[in-house]
Amino acid sequence: MVEDQRRIAHLDMDAFYASVELLRYPELRGLPVVIGGGRDAQPVRQPDGSHTFSRLRDYVGRGVITTATYEARALGVGSAMGMMKAAKLAPDAILLPVNFDAYRQMSRLFKNAVAAIAPDFEDRGIDEIYIDLTHVEGETHELAQRIKQAVRDATGLSCSIGVTPNKLLSKICSDLEKPDGLTVLGYEDIPARIWPLGVRKINGIGPKATEKLAALGIATIGQLAAADAGLLQDHFGAHYSAWLADAARGIDHRAISTSSESKSISRETTFERDLHARQDRGALSSILTQLCDRLADDLKRKGYVSRTISIKLRFDDFQIVSRNVTLPRPVADATGILQAARECLKRVPLQRRLRLLGVRASTLEPPGAGPQATLPRQGELFA
């Protein structure tokens, strides 16, 4: 198929966890709300039916924020930020615990609503999907509006959609008009709509690469598109520099993967700043735990258990290291995944700062094919 004839949408639920919580506690609408507390942050229902909520200033611990409302983000608070740091920026923000059961239910509802209109979509996690609209009847803008309305009717929540010829551009565009946004873009729109954006808008360019590009005088995607290929290769290597050049021009040939049979499932995050294994142990521990929680949620949602758990690390010099462990019996629970991930981490010398951490489950099979493993609890990394 000719590339520019494709219609690929990226649908991203708006502040998903926080928005689900606002359905339960509508009195919090318009207020800065942070999701990520433990059981002690559970709202207390009063005799008159109202609730008493915990405040971020009262939090003590090493946890990190899972997500936050847009009002909280306006105060400088964001996902993966340490709670204690966030408390200094937004001490009066409401703190709520994570409720994965509610989020899973809403995730199923919005995906079923999309599938009724456009059945070919790629599941990218609990709150985002890529949708192939190429062969779906309807004018693009109207079709995307219909999907947005179907999601709202099914969940009461808003989403943002970008529709372009490929996944890379659609991922950028779904974020341009949040919340409740809709952006439709063709290749001819790239110079006006994409090139003025900062390079960080490209999914795959993290904080460290952004800093290195800035040192070369490259701050926008347009400047990256115009950059000398030799200069990029000297500083980023042949493979990554070639990808940077393609991404800046909006080139992405990846297909939508709609296969129901997953070979592996992974979760990873790039940090806002490089983290030290010892000095930032608390933050890393919380991030690793959350990644394992989300990976366990993905396995449960897709109906798999895993016999092989892997970790992926990207250091501040862009070196990528991975380790895996094959288990005698499969796991699917967050505790088992976390213990296996920590076993993998023991085999990596953590002498450089980290910019990315990921956990992957592979060798997947349906539950019941074998008893789940309970790993012995040993000395823990990031604990």
pLDDT band at 302 (very low <50, low <70, confident <90, very high): confident
CB 164 within 8 A of CB 154: no
Pick the catalytic residue from 21, 71, 122, 128. Answer: 128
pLDDT at 263 over 80: no
- Give CA–CA dist 115/295, Å, rounded: 23
Query: Phi first, then psi: what are they for 144, rounded to 5°?
Result: -65, -40
Q: Can you say how many angstroms the Cα of residue 78 is from the centroid of all Cα atoms in its chain? A: 13
Q: What is the mean pLDDT of residues 321-345?
A: 92
The answer on whether 127 is annotated among ligand-binding residues is yes
Helices (H) then strands (E): counts for the chain: 12, 15
pLDDT band at 377 (very low <50, low <70, confident <90, very high): very low
pLDDT at 365 over 80: yes
The answer on whether 12 is annotated among ligand-binding residues is yes
* Residue 163 CB-density burial (10 A; 0-12 exposed, 13-18 middle, 19+ buried): buried
List the structure tokens of 263: 């070979």
* Res 378: pLDDT: 41
pLDDT at 216 over 70: yes
128 is catalytic: yes
Domains of the chain (ranges, CATH numbers): 8-14+102-190 (3.30.70.270), 16-99 (3.40.1170.60), 197-249 (1.10.150.20), 264-365 (3.30.1490.100)
CB 306 within 8 A of CB 363: yes
CB 162 within 8 A of CB 9: yes
- Give CA–CA dist 84/55, Å, rounded: 12
**Residue pLDDT, tens place only, 101-130:** 899 899 999 999 999 999 899 988 889 999
CB 322 within 8 A of CB 328: no
- Give CA–CA dist 59/82, Å, rounded: 11
- Give CA–CA dist 196/173, Å, rounded: 13
Sign of the four-CA dihedral 317, 320, 323, 324: positive
